[in-house]
Amino acid sequence: MEPSAEIDGLIARHPDWRGDALAEARRVILSVDDGIVEGWKYMGSPARDLDGPLIVGDIFEAKVKLGFQYGAALDDPKGIFNGELGGKQRRSYELFEGDVVDAEALAGLVRAAIERNRNKKAESRKR
C-alpha cells in the first residue's frame, strides 16, 4: 500500500478529534511545499521528508504528536513546541483534545525545517 493510503487509513481508523487533528496537520504540512514526500516509516508512522527528514506524526491514546527530527535547531517564534524540550535534537508539537492546529506556526516550522535540511545538504556538498 502506498504511504498516502496508509496515512488515509490511520486517519479513518480514528474518527474522533485525533483523526481530525492529524488530517489538519497533514493538510498544513503538505501545503508548505509541493516537494514534500509522505512516507510510512519507523514501524508504522506517517513521515514527511524533503531534502531529509522533516516530521513524523502519529496518533496516541490522548494526543497527536508531530515530532520534528531536528526541532532543537529550529526557531519557534510562536512557541508551539511543547514536547521533547530537554533533548539536543528533537522537538514535538503535541495536540490534545480541544486543541486547534496553529496552521501559521506549524507552516513556519515546516519551512524552517526544510531550510535547515537544504542548508545541511549544501554544506555536505562543499566538503
pLDDT tier, 6 (very low <50, low <70, confident <90, very high otherwise):
very high
**Closest C-alpha among 29, 7, 11 to residue 102:** 29
CA distance 58 to 67: 8
Given a cut of 80, whether residue 57 has pLDDT beyond it is yes
Give pLDDT tens digits for 26-47. Answer: 999 999 999 999 999 988 899 9
Chosen CATH of 3-126 out of 3.90.1150.200, 3.30.1280.10, 3.40.50.720, 2.60.40.10: 3.90.1150.200
CA distance 102 to 118: 24
For the chain, what are the domain ranges? 3-126
Per-residue pLDDT, 122: 82
pLDDT tier, 92 (very low <50, low <70, confident <90, very high otherwise):
very high
Per-residue pLDDT, 88: 94
Per-residue pLDDT, 106: 99
CA distance 103 to 24: 8
Q: Which residues contact 74 (CB under 8 A, 6 or more apart)?
A: 68, 91, 109, 112, 113, 116
Q: What is the pTM of this model?
A: 0.93
